Chain A
Amino acid sequence: MSPPIPSGSARLQQGPGAAPPAPLPSLQAGAGPAAAVSLLDRLLAAIRPLLPPAVLAPDRLPSDLTPSGAPMEAAFVWADGEPGCDPRVSLDPAPGALPGTRLEAALSLCRAVAGAEPSPEVSRLVARLSCWQRQAGGRYGAWAGLRQSASGRLAAKLYLEVAPAVDAAGRPRWVGFEQRLAGAPPVLTGRNVRPTMLGVTPDGGVLELYYRTDPLFPGDLDTLMRRFGLVPRGREIRRLVERLTGRSVRFEIPSSDVGFSVAFQIVGEGRAQRAHALAFTFYSNAAALLGPDARVTEALLAEGAVRGWDMAAYRHALSGSGAPHGEAPLQRHGLVGLVLAGKASARVTATLAAFGQSREACHG
């Protein structure tokens, strides 16, 4: 449905002395023999002229967008019977900068892509969440997301950090906002469900709220989906996890780092404005669910082979990996997830930090 949540959380778990930033991806379409056909390469080539210099700088600081420190992450979305992989990219427009700076940089990128200012509603949202970030000490502020339509037109999405700011009574400031959006009281009060990021299109037509939670049972997912007026489809998530892990899921979903997002369509204006949930996406940190990169890759390729997905772009992106300075590569996969939109067929998503073949390549 929408670009997946960036996986910068895993970065936080690293202690001081983290590895140096990973080199940037090659943004040249046709850099490799198979690259010319890669949908992801086409997207990367299209966005390259728009990238802020800070993303391309060879001496940039590591980004907390990805576990590897890369400031860019590709997302693939596969569905049975659908061609391609619907690639999209999330990026940190100012690696290492303060949240406010990154928010401005992300907004600039969105303006450049849309060719217009964000809608007044979006501007108000940005101001509000920016205020929370200042109050609570934001971690990253914002990311930008980019995708390409079939006609080749680029579309942007702004990801805003939902910082844990509190009011005078100690209540998180996001509570009222979240309940109005959800349209129903909270559920699963024992699972530490909290929104962490808001994705918004520049026109404000679609909002996507991203949550993190404590470990969940498949049945909990049904409870969550019901809250948003969506068809409960937790069983499909359980089956996907069983297929990817090759094991039965009898208790919690076997991952210590999970979350979900709900995409809302915003209709009406002013007081008549309403949010209708369109899609629910379950996410897990890829490593927490499946292990190191090799195992994530093995599981995704095996599932893709059985279900006939187009994995060419994913394979090609994988082949571009390389460890900087001969060090063991850090985890490249960020998240795996399942997108459930209404009664439509489920779509599987995975994110991969962009790794370049070499530092030199990013100068090209």
Chain B
Amino acid sequence: MFDVSSVREIEYGASGVTYVYQDHDNPKLWYMVPVPRLRTLDGAPSFGMTEYTSNGGGIAGLCTFEMELVQPLEARRAAEEILGSDISWGGFVWVGGTAYFYYDIAGENEVLAVEPTLYGTNVAAFQIELATPEAVNSFKNAFSGDEGGASTFRVEYEMQVLTKLLGAKATVIYTAEAAIEYEKKYKTVRDTWGNQKQVLQEVKQVLRQSGAGEVKVELGPGSSDELAQRVRDWGWTTLENQVADTVAAAAVMATGPNPVSATTSFNQTYQEDTVIDWSTPVSSFMRRFSPDEWKQVFTKVDNRKLSVVFNLIGELNRSGTDDPVAETVTVTVTYPTRPTDNTFTLIVTDGDQSSKIYDAPGDFSGGSYNPEFTYTYVINFKDGKTFKSDPITTTDTLVNITPNVFGTRQVTFIGQNIPFSGPAGVREVNIDFFFAPPAGNPAIVQTKTLTANGAENGVRFDSFYNLPIGQNYSYRLRYQMADNSEIVSEPPGALSSAPDYTGSGNADIVFVADPKGLFTQFTLRAFNYTTETTTLLLVDVNAQYFDPVNNGDKWIAENTWSNWQPTGLLSFAEPRWNFQAVDNTNNAYFNLSGTIFYSNGESFTLDGYRQSSEYKTMTVTNTVQNYSVKVDSSLVDWTQVASVNLTMFQLKPQVREKFGKNVPAFLSRPRHEMTTAQRIEAEASQQNVMLFSLLGAPSGVVVDSLERFYGIQRPIAEPTIEFYYTAVYVLKDGTTRELESQEVSGRLSVELPALPPATVTPGLVRQVMEPGALAARMRQGG
């Protein structure tokens, strides 16, 4: 494993720069960060530029090219001159990465990011639509000219590799109060939350400007300022991504406006020796083509053409080997102007032919440029089997064929700072892992055991089917403690924190941390909407935290806010409630009791209101009242069932009438499985979305029949409570069954059946509670 504190800059050739790292244990072993280079195919540069002279269909030109990562011999020689000729070279194992193309149009800088493959030479294909003649000229000037030499445009690869944090300790801190204060002070309206990329941009600004984000780096003896900056860069990226995930999740679960105010504080310290995913950014300038070469790569045509990049991305080798998961992918495109030669092959086996730029003359038969085409692909597996996709019609100019369609997934669990020693330490960690296999394949909860920290001791779950699989998986960590007790930590289901996520996501790393002492914060907030004449006057609330699987039926922490008088539009009960607990958000919950008094003399009793600990904010308002729904899974027949995914949501008031009884079925799916149009509709119509992932047990382990709780909101003006849910059962034989589309009334609980019948029409369950039943229940509850 390389030592991050040993980085050295190596200059080579006319203007090349790269970096080398020394191995932590072997001083003669070094690692060189490979540098980007334009690919060459059959002796020709993989580069093309087209200028449209008359009808560009909205654009004036197009530039496409492919890059790859290489270790130039001259860079090695330059390094060996400095480090000694007796050194040897190790190789990085990438766990993720992004390639960036930096260019400018008339002096205005732009950046385009794409995902390279994680195998072979990490090919990245770029396609840039040039909107104006000015943009075309900028590209022509950058890539051509008699003088040759380097272009002003450059490509940077930022690849992630696992290593240890050496020579420094880092703490990332998010102080929600500061972010909320900033939001209140500077902006009261936001409409961009909920989109991952936009969230990240907003989060960066909020974290910086509010002071809510902080990264502390403590350097070890002899460490350089340069290391401090690199660690700080890493820490900020880590923090920004964590907060973006939190905000995006809060936006999806939305139980009120302003999701930032529903976030809670956290801090995390990464000690020296902690395994982290380290970035290795390295860039190189592209080159100008000689006049002869330019004639080959530059064309001028009348009309716009269709140009689509087809790309295999992600890790398509079996982990730790060079054994590819398939042989080839044959793609066939249908587009009106190109009747023949529409099939081409992407080759998985060597990683070098993992992308193809398909083009065809533009179709203007309808009077304007037609960007829509259809494609199918056939995966040819090594065992001779094939899989043919359904036809896919799209206007995308970048088509990524992701590893899940090959049926491959490789998830590695790595101990980060688990105390594997001492009388109060951890003996081992059993990891229960599950995902839904392709139909017809047995579905089982696999279990493997982790006994030491570090990448070299990681535990990997591989799956290689010859049929597509979904992108989701779930897991449960069972820490076996030295005193023979057990601590269970189970994250919630992957709801939709990354709706714009387009990555391959098959070679995931899950870092496993110390099970104890997670800092937890709970926030009680109130909205007093000025549109209402009745306001919140006083709130008395007692909150308890329960984690039944780890602590039985006793609460772990408790807090009381008495006589709190909410003020203004948004206010928070102080002080915030902080405590430490096991990270078990899948099935731990908060239990809240108390009374909310209104200015009109009425009151509302929170009678054992419970909500999942995934959501660490309780919102009271003068427009809604809170109830909880108990989810009873005790009837599920775990002898036949491997996993149940239960998705629950409410509709925003303004869309209830629009949908009527025809609520779209796609609303039950994770947002990353929706189309763009569906996602937009989901964001506009859903609120309070929760996904409960119920995992069966491996052979010999009894499944705990844990209750889950879903907190719901009833508008005071609307006497009826209404919510929707759907449950997908994955059976051990690999088949799936879903609940029947139906309406249930009169209950504030959901009883999951042992097994839905195979013959029902699957769909959403609409559950309602009429005013009379609700009043009776409230009377019963006291």
- Per the bound structure, the CA–CA distance linking A321 and B599 in Å amounts to 40
A-contacting 9-mer, from B103-111, B268-276, B500-508, B555-563: B103-111
**B228: which A residues are within 8 A, CB to CB?**
246
- Per the bound structure, the CA–CA distance linking A248 and B106 in Å amounts to 25
- Per the bound structure, the CA–CA distance linking A11 and B323 in Å amounts to 61
Q: Please provide the chain A residues from 211 to 256 with a CB less than 8 Å away from any CB of chain B in the complex.
A: 216-220, 222-223, 226, 242, 246-248, 250-251, 254, 256
Q: Please provide the chain A residues from 66 to 95 with a CB less than 8 Å away from any CB of chain B in the complex.
A: none
Contact with A along B224-263 (1 / 0, CB 8 A): 0000111011001000000000000000000000000000
Beta-carbon contact of A226 and B107 below 8 Å:
yes
Complex: chain B residue closest to A251, CB-CB = B111
Beta-carbon contact of A217 and B109 below 8 Å:
yes
**B105: which A residues are within 8 A, CB to CB?**
190
- A155 at interface (Cβ–Cβ under 8 A)? no
**A220: which B residues are within 8 A, CB to CB?**
104, 107-109
Our pick among A13, A190, A217 for the contact of B187 (Cβ within 8 Å) is A13
- A188 at interface (Cβ–Cβ under 8 A)? yes
**B178: which A residues are within 8 A, CB to CB?**
292
- B669 at interface (Cβ–Cβ under 8 A)? no
- Per the bound structure, the CA–CA distance linking A363 and B45 in Å amounts to 76
- B448 at interface (Cβ–Cβ under 8 A)? no
Contact with B along A159-199 (1 / 0, CB 8 A): 00000000000000000000000000001111100000000
Also in contact, A13 and B186, with CB within 8 A (given A190-B108, A223-B107): yes
Show 11 A/B contacts (Cβ-Cβ < 8 Å), sorted by A. A188-B108, A216-B109, A223-B106, A226-B107, A246-B232, A250-B156, A254-B208, A256-B209, A288-B205, A291-B209, A294-B211
Number of A residues near B (Cβ < 8 Å) is: 32
Q: How large is the interface on B (under 10, 10 to 19, 20 to 34, 35 or more residues)?
A: 20 to 34
- Per the bound structure, the CA–CA distance linking A295 and B109 in Å amounts to 29
Complex: chain A residue closest to B103, CB-CB = A219
**A223: which B residues are within 8 A, CB to CB?**
104, 106-108
Also in contact, A254 and B229, with CB within 8 A (given A247-B236, A287-B209): no
- B661 at interface (Cβ–Cβ under 8 A)? no
- B197 at interface (Cβ–Cβ under 8 A)? no
**B205: which A residues are within 8 A, CB to CB?**
256, 288
Our pick among B185, B209, B229 for the contact of A248 (Cβ within 8 Å) is B229
- Per the bound structure, the CA–CA distance linking A266 and B764 in Å amounts to 73
Contact with A along B174-215 (1 / 0, CB 8 A): 000010000001111000000000000000110011110000
Given A223-B107, A247-B229, list of 16 further CB < 8 A pairs? Answer: A13-B186, A15-B188, A187-B106, A188-B106, A220-B108, A246-B229, A248-B233, A250-B281, A251-B111, A254-B204, A288-B209, A289-B208, A291-B209, A292-B178, A292-B210, A294-B211
- A149 at interface (Cβ–Cβ under 8 A)? no
**A339: which B residues are within 8 A, CB to CB?**
none
B interface, CB within 8 angstroms of A: 104-109, 111, 156, 178, 185-188, 204-205, 208-211, 228-230, 232-233, 236, 281
**B104: which A residues are within 8 A, CB to CB?**
219-220, 223
A interface, CB within 8 angstroms of B: 13-15, 187-191, 216-220, 222-223, 226, 242, 246-248, 250-251, 254, 256, 287-292, 294-295
Complex: chain A residue closest to B230, CB-CB = A248
**B230: which A residues are within 8 A, CB to CB?**
248
B622 to chain A, nearest CB (A): 19
A239 to chain B, nearest CB (A): 12
- Per the bound structure, the CA–CA distance linking A190 and B103 in Å amounts to 14
Our pick among A14, A242, A250, A256 for the contact of B185 (Cβ within 8 Å) is A14
Our pick among B109, B186, B208 for the contact of A291 (Cβ within 8 Å) is B208
**B210: which A residues are within 8 A, CB to CB?**
291-292
- Per the bound structure, the CA–CA distance linking A152 and B107 in Å amounts to 44
- Per the bound structure, the CA–CA distance linking A295 and B236 in Å amounts to 15
Also in contact, A222 and B107, with CB within 8 A (given A14-B186, A248-B233, A254-B204): yes
Beta-carbon contact of A295 and B107 below 8 Å:
no
Our pick among B107, B188, B208, B233 for the contact of A188 (Cβ within 8 Å) is B107
Our pick among B107, B187, B233, B281 for the contact of A247 (Cβ within 8 Å) is B233
Complex: chain A residue closest to B185, CB-CB = A14
- Per the bound structure, the CA–CA distance linking A251 and B156 in Å amounts to 11
**B236: which A residues are within 8 A, CB to CB?**
247
Beta-carbon contact of A219 and B109 below 8 Å:
yes
User: Taking each of B106, B156, B204, B210, which has the highest tally of chain A beta carbons within 10 Å of its own beta carbon?
Assistant: B106
Beta-carbon contact of A291 and B211 below 8 Å:
yes
- Per the bound structure, the CA–CA distance linking A191 and B108 in Å amounts to 8
- Per the bound structure, the CA–CA distance linking A15 and B530 in Å amounts to 15
